Amino acid sequence: MSEQINKIITEFTKQAETFNEYQKAFSKEEYNDFALSNMHLDGSENVLEVAAGTCAFGRLVAPHVRHVTEFDVTEAMLDVGKKEADKVGIENVSFVLGEAENMPFADATFDVVMSRLAFHHFETPETVYKEMVRVLKPGGKLVIIDMKARDENLRKTADDLERYRDPSHVRCLSEDEFTQMAKDASLSVEFCETIAVPVSAEAWMDVTKVEGSKRDRIRKRMLADINGGEKTGVDPYLKDGKIYFDHRWMLMICRK
C-alpha cells in the first residue's frame, strides 16, 4: 500500500461522518440534476462508482439504474454509505473495499463507471483512469466529476492551499489533462461542462477538522487575498460577512 493511499485512509477515516454532512451540503438539487440529466440513464445499467466515499452520488444514481457497486479504499466511508442507503431503503447497491489503481473486477463488467470528487486525491490518476476504462463495457459511459484545476498562474498556489487543509489532496487536473486521458484510452468525449459551486470556507475546513492556528492562518490568507494581498489561488470573496470561494466542478462524460 502506497504512502498516498495510507494518507487517504487516515484522512477519510477521520472525515467519514462529517464528510457525509458536507456531501449533503454540496449535493444540492441543481448540481445533482446537472450530472444526472446529462448521463441519460435508462434504468438497465450496471454501475460502478470508483472512490465512492460515503456513496452520496451512487445513492443518488441508484433509483435510476439496475445496480450500483460502491468501491472505495476507506472502510469507514463505505460504512457510512451503507448506513445511509439502509436508512432510505436503497437495496440495489453493494459495497466493495479496495484500491482504485487495482480493482477486483473483470474486464468489461459495467455499463457506467463513474467517479465524483476523487481524482484530485490520486497520485497516479492515469492508472486509475485506465482501470476505469478496463472494467467498462464497449459502448459504456465513463463519467467524471471533479474540481478543475485553476489557471496555470494560480494552479500550484491553489493546490498548496487544498493540501494544507487536507494532506490527502494531490492536485487538481485540467480539462485538457482529462481530455488527453480520454484520447489515450480511445474514448470519445460526449459532454464536458464546468459549473461554479459556492463553498463556505468554514464548512470546507470543518470537514477535515482544521483547528486552531492552522484554521486562523487559512482565514487570514483568504482575507488578505480579498483585500488585494497575496493570492491564495481560489479567489475568495465575502458573502453576508463570511468567507466563500467557488470550486469549479467539471463534468466529463466519455463513451468507450
Which DSSP string corresponds to 161-191? HHHHH-TT---PBPHHHHHHHHHHTT-EEEE
pLDDT at 230 over 90: yes
Rounded average pLDDT over 174-203: 96
- Residue-wise pLDDT tens digits, 64-91: 999 999 999 999 999 999 999 999 999 9
Q: Is residue 229 part of a domain?
A: no
Task: Tell how far CA 103 is from the center of its chain.
Answer: 18
pLDDT at 45: 99
Report pLDDT for 103.
98
Q: How far apart are the C-alpha atoms of 49 and 56, rounded to whole Å?
A: 10
Q: What is the CATH number of the domain that holds 108?
A: 3.40.50.150
Q: Does any domain span residue 232?
A: no
Q: Taking the CA atoms of the chain, what radius of gyration do you get in angstroms?
A: 18
Cα–Cα distances (Å) from 84 to 26, 54, 234, in that order, read 16, 8, 32
Residues 91-107 have pLDDT tens digits of 999 999 999 999 999 99
- In total, the chain counts a number of residues equal to 256
Q: With b meaning 16 or more CB within 10 Å and e meaning fewer, what string describes 100-125?
A: bbebebeeebbbbbbbbbbbbbbbeb
Cell of 18: 462529517
- pLDDT-derived band at 4 (thresholds 50, 70, 90) equals confident
Residue 28 banded pLDDT, cuts 50, 70, 90: low
pLDDT band of residue 252 (cuts 50, 70, 90) is: very high
Per-residue DSSP letter, 120: G
Report the pLDDT averaged over residues 15-27: 56
**pLDDT of 25 higher than 70:** no
Query: Is residue 22 over pLDDT 80?
Result: no
CA torsion, ordered 181, 182, 185, 187, to nearest 10 deg: 180
9 vs 221, more confident: 221
For residue 38, the model assigns a pLDDT of 94
Between residues 31 and 24, the one the model is more confident about: 31
Summarize the confidence of residues 229-252 as an average pLDDT.
Answer: 96
Q: Work out the average pLDDT over 194-217.
A: 91
Structural domain includes residue 29: yes
Report the amino acid identity of residue 150: R
Of residues 18 and 100, more confidence is placed in 100
Instruction: Give the domain range for residue 34.
Output: 3-150+167-197+248-255
In the prediction, which pLDDT does 130 show? 99
Residue 227 counted as domain residue: no
Is residue 183 assigned to a domain? yes
The yes-or-no verdict on residue 193 having pLDDT over 70 is yes
Would you state the pLDDT for residue 12? 60
Q: Does 68 reside within a domain?
A: yes
Residue 55 has what pLDDT? 93
Alpha helices in the chain (DSSP H): 3-25, 29-39, 56-61, 75-87, 125-134, 152-165, 175-184, 201-207, 212-226
Residue 52 lies in a domain: yes
Distance CA 88, CA 179 (A): 37
Q: Give the pairing type, strands 110-116 and 136-147.
A: parallel
Give dist(CA 100, CA 69) in Å, integer.
13
Q: Please determine, for residue 10, whether its predicted confidence score (pLDDT) is greater than 70.
A: no
Examine the pLDDT at 26 and tell me if it is beyond 60. no
Residue type, 43: G
219 domain residue, yes or no: no
Pick from 153, 148, 164: which is nearest to 201 by CA?
A: 164
Query: What is the tally of structural domains in the chain?
Result: 1
Give the least confident one: 2-11, 120-129, 218-227, 230-239: 2-11
